Structure 1
Amino acid sequence: MELEQTIIEDLKILHLKKLEDSRGSFTKIFNDDFFVANNLRTDFKESYFSMSHKNVIRGMHFQSPPAEHTKLVFVNTGSIVDVVLDIRINSKTFGQYFYTTISASQPKLVYIPVGCAHGFLSLEDNTIVSYIQTSVYNNSFDHGVRWDSFGMEWPVTEPIVSARDMAFDRFNDIKSPFA
């Protein structure tokens, strides 16, 4: 694993090594020793995945205290444009966003700190994205920022967005619970 700091405070990209041979491939996504040595959280509580069609935008999601979490995101199949928005009011990077392309063929792990909203655009049909979080999902603390309200120019002309994600408050109207 190779660690890269992004423009957003505490948001990291971990470049993963993909080993391939005649059987297929193998990619390690978590190593406790590496995480501890780099001051990354290791207390993960829940894991899940989504499958998306091409042009689906999911996001921008976050959970508020006391259910806030650090999140790991990676792609099992397909590819995405992954987007993270800093909504921590006292952060030097408040209101800034970062995006990167992640694919199964060039694996990366996105380490998203508490206080950031997350979303992605699926670039291929049947894209599978996995998430590992330090808290258990709680519907009462589930929130979001409207996907098209913070300056990101999504590379899609006809996005597929859920009614739930369309109903989120615009970035300028959210009341961030993160100081």
Structure 2
Amino acid sequence: MIIESTFISDLYLIKLNQISDLRGSFTKTIHKETFDTYSIDSNFTESFYSKSHKNVIRGMHFQIPPDDHSKLVYLISGSILDVILDIRKESPTYGKFFSIVITADNPQAIYIGKGLAHGFKSLEDNSVVEYHTTTSHSKQNETGIKYSSFGFDWGSENDILSERDLNFKNFIDFNSPF
């Protein structure tokens, strides 16, 4: 596994090592010693996955303190456009975003630190995204930023969003606790 820093602090792109043979493939997604080298918290307390149809946008999600968390995100099948927004007021990259297309054929993970909002657009049917988080889900502290309010071009056509995601505050109106 190769870990690369991005221009946003606490946001890492992880190239996963995939071994293939006549049976199929094997991919390691978490390695504590490697994560420790980069001071990446790998004490994950919850894991879940989503399965999305083409053109589904999920995001921009995060949890606020005291239940804020870091998360590791990777793809099991399909392809996504993954987007991360820095919502930490004191960060030099506040309001800036990072995006990358991830496909199941090119195994990569994204490590998303606290104070970063996350979302993605499914680029094909049956895109399965797995998440590991360092705190458990907190209904009262989960929230988000409206996906269309911070200047990112989703290349949108016939997008599908939940009512909840459509009703998040615009970035400009969000008073960040980070």
- TM-score, normalising length from structure 1? 0.98
Q: After the TM superposition, which residues 1-179 of structure 1 pair with which residues of structure 2 at under 5 Å, given as runs?
A: 1-178=1-178
Q: Tell me the distance in 1 between the aligned counterparts of 2:110 and 2:91.
A: 19
Give the CA deviation at 1:37.
1.5
**RMSD of the alignment, in Å?**
0.7
What's the secondary structure of 2:131's corresponding residue?
A: strand
What's the secondary structure of 2:34's corresponding residue?
A: helix
Identity of aligned residues (%): 47
Count matched residues.
Answer: 178
Contact 1:9–1:92, Cα closer than 8 Å, also in 2:
no
Query: Would you identify which runs of 4 or more consecutive aligned residues in structure 1 move more than 4 Å?
Result: none
- TM-score, normalising length from structure 2? 0.98
Unaligned residue ranges in structure 2 (runs of 5+): none
Unaligned residue ranges in structure 1 (runs of 5+): none
Q: Tell me the distance in 1 between the aligned counterparts of 2:128 and 2:61.
A: 17
Give the CA deviation at 1:104.
1.0
Q: Tell me the distance in 2 between the aligned counterparts of 1:3 and 1:43.
A: 17
